[in-house]
Every structure is written in structure tokens, then in C-alpha cells.
Structure 1
Amino acid sequence: MGLRRGKTKTILESSIDSALLAVEIYNKPRTVFRVENYITLMVMAWTRLFHAHFNNTIGDKYYYKSGKKYKLVDGERKAWELNESIRKYGQLTESEEKNLRLFIALRNKIEHRHIEKETLDTLIFGECQALLYNFENTLVKLFGEDYAINENLAFSLQFSRFITKEQRQAQKNMLSSEVQDLVAYINKYRSELSEDVFNSQEYSIKLIAIPKVASASRNDLSVEFIKWESFNPEEQAEVQKVTAIVKDKIIRVEAVNAGRYKPSSVVKLVKENGMADFSINHHTALWQKFGVRPTNNADDPFDTNTKFCYYDQAHNDYLYTNNWVSFIIQLFELDKMRLEDLKTSNNINVTLSVSDFE
């Protein structure tokens, strides 16, 4: 579907430009803030893709309203953000949506962080690749093959030397606490996916690089993509044998709540350490003051300080860590805070910095 010059085409071209720039930045190994920029630009590309679709189908109506009036930001109508656009579109598969929502959450988490680390690059490579593939598939679905962008992309070159187990462990040990929080968040997010979604190519592209040592023709491509669905069951079984040899085994532990506590258990532990008057109300005031978790019905319930708290999706509540219990205890043991400071009248809406009290 060729679009005439107009608002829809302008938004769509901006979406495609954002995606191409994201890939260009990601494929430059010495680029500063490589992963951060890729995620930010791809979220922008997806948002503009949906806006182009809405403009093309329902017109200039993809904005938030309060009653009959549009919500304004700096005098401009506030357009639907990506979360809302996904909901309004309503045609993504579960795997596509889970992939996209992961990056929305990561975009929010990395806004004020520097995460340029090889370990994190490797950790989310499959999701990054799926995010791009899903974008192009949706682009073509909405606007036709004329707007396919795969012909503009090339495979990035890879170094072949393997990183030793000891080197990789040393890199992990050097990760900042902020990056460790992100890694913990990603692993937690994956652990709550169904097996079908986790194994889907729409959620994460799993690739195995095997040198192509022979070819029937010297004109053949050096790189070929073969769809998994094109293999018969016997061929799929053979590939699975290969993957068992060349890939690290990922063990997904289901006991994700070990060592985590409900609020009542936190209160009990704090009381056992000398704070007999500590209550649930005091605990609520503390997590609010230190921004440990979002409020109920927040847009992103996973947006927690994972050093202290995790969202338990299965039970739609929050669990707290040993670090949180220790933090509370030392607050009072070292007289950094008093119970009187936790009264609701004491400006409870002001968020305090954890680092100022550690």
C-alpha cells in the first residue's frame, strides 16, 4: 500500500527512520550507550508505527481525553503512549506483546542509568532481535511489502574468539548494582512467561552460528536464514541435538520466591530484632518513602527496587527481600529514623534516597 504524502506517511517514515537508526547504533561496537539507544529508538519506532496506523484508520484521534477534552502537555495534545497503543491495537500475539512490554519496562528503567555492559548485551540479544523482526512484520502487515526494510539491513560482523568461563564470571562480578538489578528484573520477567511464549521466536530469536563449509554453487549467499517451521520432525530433532552441544543450558528455577517475605513476615522479623512497636502501617510508610515499589494499580507493577522488593504476578502482590529487612533494622538501630517519622502527617509523599540511609 503506497501512501501519498501526508501526516500518516510522515509519521510512518519517522518510525522506519527510528528503527534503522536503532540498528545502526546497535551494530557499532564502540558506540556509547549502545543498548540504551537501541531500546529507546525501537520503543519510539513502535510508538510511531502505531500512530501512523491509527492516523490511517481512525484519523487524528489517538490522544488521551479527560471527559470530552483532550489532555494537554505543554499546550499539545498528549498522544497515546506505547502501552496504550498496544491495548488499542489489540492484534499482537501474546509473544509479540510480552517482548514489546519487556522493552517498555527496560526503557523506563534505563532512563537514568548507563548499562553498556557486554553481559547485558548478550543477555537480551535474542529479545532485541525479536523486537526488530516483530516490528518489520507488523510494519508489512499494516502498510504492505513496499515498506519492508530488511533489504536495508546487513548482518553485523562478529569476532570469533570465545570468552572463557573465568573471564565471563569476572565480568559478572564487576557489574554495578544497578545492572545487577536489571539482570534480576529480566530473569524474573522471563521466569513468569509460559513455556510457549518463552520458546517463541516472536518473544526471543534463538540463533546458532555454524560455519557453512561447503556450497553447491559459488554464487550462493554466505548467510542463510532457514525457518524452523520448514524442518520436518526428524530434522528438528537433529537440530535440537546440535543445540544441546553448542549452547549453555538455561535452568529456569520455579522456586522464585525463596528468601522473600510478605509484609506481615517483614514486620515479624523487625519486631524480633527489637522494634516491638513496628507495624504494617510503619512498613507501608517505609516502602512509600523510599520508593521501593509502585503504588497499587500502577501502569508497571514490575517497577520495583529489586534489591528490596519483587512483584509476584501470580498472586498480584509484592514480596520483600532479606536486604529490605536488614535495611529497616539498621535504620532504627543506628538512629537514622524513628517511628515518629513514619506518621502520615510527616510528608509521606516525599521519596527519600536509599543511598542516603545505607
Structure 2
Amino acid sequence: MSSQFTPKTTGAEAAAVLAPHIAGKTVLMTGASITGLGFAFLKAISAHSPALLILAGRSEAKLDETAAALAPTPTRKVLFDLTSLASARKAAAEVMAWQDVPAIDVLVFSAAVPICPYTKTEDGLEMQFGADYVAHWLFGNLVMGKVLKGKGAVGTEGAGRVLSISSEGQRLSPIRWGDISFQDGKTYHRWRAYGQCKTALILYAVLLAEKLGGAGLRAFSLHPGSVPGTALSSLINMEDVTLALDKELGNKEGDSNPFDPSIRRTIEQGAMPYVVAAFDPSVNDLNGKYLIDGRLAKVENDDVKPYALDKEEAEKLWKYTEELVGQKFDF
């Protein structure tokens, strides 16, 4: 990461430095509500002449609101409901049919459902795992042909980039082999479910890099920082997760102050890791890695759990997800 970026750098400041890498790029992102981090990222890069910003979401009204706020930057919308695999397939087919959009340079998975009581997606999957991970996995794989035609940072060779927005919540659970669906809700714990889906998102980036790195694809997962003020964070009781489950699991965060202002980020600062992962050529050699504040997260520093970066776990999860969606992707 460029030494001039710190955890307090805003997305707009990072975008100004990386402007040559943003100009002319096509970016597709889920989670574009104007109250979220994804919008802060789009707003930051919109000042530097991207070719097109593709907004994916389930509410046409909200997509229109975001598009209006990003004007005059060119935008296009595609309806995509994370709770439906049929919707993921339909949205991907629509994007792939756009002949005037031959490539996607950056694909960002930023949408997430609230950390909710036990419920299921349209396809019978536990909601957080099914919506945040499986739907993104399916959509991403279905549009991968256009991402492989994309271009990375100026001065580097290769295809486009995929950003899988995870979080430090990965520390709360590995993939729960044998109980991924929480016994149909009987053993459900919303924070363990949250941790499982965030781990899954990291593992997706790990295996994309493994499978398609040779074709030039760059895939990263990232934690944008602790950002109060977003629509999602307003639903989270931080004391609930950090003090109760972390103590039970023996995580260092169980002994920390979740409200410490030194670890808090504004929404604008939370957009910086997005900008770095999407456009900074200095991360090009970190393919498949998990980034925190735009820097490499390290197991030895307890930034990330070993299970979240394990290639065997990633391969196992990939095969399991293929079975869930009923489709193989032999990239």
C-alpha cells in the first residue's frame, strides 16, 4: 500500500492519488445505498472519470437515488435480490447481454443483509450465508467472463479485480462443516452466522486468486474498519458481539474496548480500503489476500484467523457451493 495512505485517509483522498488508475474503468458494485460504505466508495471515484458505474440492488428506487447522487458520472442499474439465486442468475444474464459493456474492470461485493434472527432465503439457505456469500458467489462466477476481459491498474498486466467485502467478524466462526445451516435454526447464533459468512467471503477471494490468478485476475477480501453511522452498523450492538462471544472464543477483542475512538472510522475513511483494493497497483502482488485498512492482514499478528485463508478450506467450500447452486465452474 502507498505509504501516504493511513487508516485515517479518506476514500476521496486515496482516489485523488489513484486517479490515473480510475479513469476509464467500469465498476460493478452491489450494495450501493447512499447510506452505506459502498456509496462512499462510488462517490470518491466518481470524481475521476470512471467510464461506467453499474449499480446492483433489489430496490429500483434506491438505485435511482444513488444514480442521481452520482451524476453526471454515467451509471447503469441491474436489479439483484441477494435472497434469490434465480435473481442472481437473471441479473448476471442481463449484465452479460450488454454488448456495449464488453468488460468489467472492478467487481465489488459490498451488499449485506442485516445481522438477523434465523430466517431463510428463497432457496432455503440460512439468510446471512445464502445472501451475503452464496448469491454473490453465483453472480460473480456467472459474470466472470467480463471481469477477465477487464483491466487492472495502469502499468500492470492482467484482468480485472474482484473485491469481496468481509469484516473482522471472520474471527467469530470458521465454516461450520456439519452444521452450516444451524440445524435449521435450532442451534442458530446470529454472530456465529455472521462470522461464518464473512469467513466464506474471504475464502472466495482466496480460491479465485488460485484459480484465475494465472489469467491475470486479482481478487481481494477486505475489512474496511469499524465504521459507525452506516445503515448496517446502526443495527449492531457492538458490546453484544465483542464482549460476549469474543470472550467465549478467547479472542483478544474480548478484552478490548469496542468503543475506543482510535479504532473508529468515518464512512469516508471506511471507503479508503475499497479504493486501494480496487485501484492501487501496490497491492497487485497480494492476490487472494485479506486486507485491513488497505494493508496486508497477517495471521501472526492475529489480524485474521488461519482458517479464513486456508486453501484446502477454500477448495472444499467452492465444491460445497457448487452443490448448493447446482452448477460447476471449472475456471
- Shared fold per TM-score greater than 0.5: no
Normalized against structure 2, the TM-score is what? Answer: 0.29
Structure of greater relative contact order (alpha carbons < 8 Å, 6+ residues apart): 2
